[in-house]
Amino acid sequence: MRQAQVPHAGHDVTAQASTAGLPRHIAIIMDGNGRWAQQQGLPRIEGHRRGVATVRRITEHCARRGIEQLTLYCLSSENWRRPEAELRFLMHLLEQYVIEERGLLMRERIRLAMIGRREGLPATTLAELDRTVAMCAANDGMRLCLAINYGARGEIADAARRLAEDARAGRIDPATIAEETFAARLDTAGMPDPDLLVRTAGEMRISNFLLWQISYAELWVTDVAWPEFTEADLDEAIAAFAGRDRRFGGLSCS
């Protein structure tokens, strides 16, 4: 674990995580599937397969801990540069996931949502995803948001385009545009901004993920690759979050 993320000496991470205030919304950059597989002498696709099992465990853990929303960075708009065979496998895994996890989603009353561009995604994958979203629509538990074919710069450009079209059509006065007006045009309209952004596999970058929404998110990076990320790792991130002094530009209360 990087020194900056380790709790103060003497802290019991499990106990602290179970009693401290929870982040309302956790966003995770799930990184390291391919590297983990290669380190094990396995094909990269085996890392993605193992990563799906981690998604299942972490989703269930967040739901049971009372997290309001979990957003997972599944496929970035830049990931289309990967080998075609790997991309086909990722689409197969995604389609399989949204079918096989229907039982868990319904049992834990989880609502499913997607952000990102639908263009370029296989029709069969989108159909199964839409079917699962509709099935979970009446659930009243945690929202699980999958960022698929997502890029924050593209999302911001799309929102700006929609605002410009509304202004040109006379539906909005440009002088009245505020941050809230812009946020309402983003893919995440109606969702709370992330309080905690977790990145696995040690990379210290945002990778074009939720650039507008994470303006005040707390960042937590671990060297653990996503296939090996556990519930205890997430609890450690939550405990670190609970110990942070979130001033939002103001002064500390202490």
Residue type for position 30: M
Catalytic choice (12, 31, 33, 193): 31
Helix or strand holding residue 152 (H, E): helix 152-168
User: Would you call 140 a catalytic residue per the annotation?
Assistant: no
Please count the CA atoms within 13 angstroms of the CA of 5 that sit on its side-chain side. Answer: 22
> What is the spatial distance between Cα 80 and Cα 96, in angstroms, rounded to a whole number?
20
Q: Is the CB of residue 209 less than 8 Å from the CB of residue 29?
A: yes
Catalytic residue among 12, 33, 79, 233: 79
DSSP state of 27: E
- Is residue 208 annotated as part of the catalytic site, yes or no? no
Please give the positions annotated as active site.
Answer: 31, 79
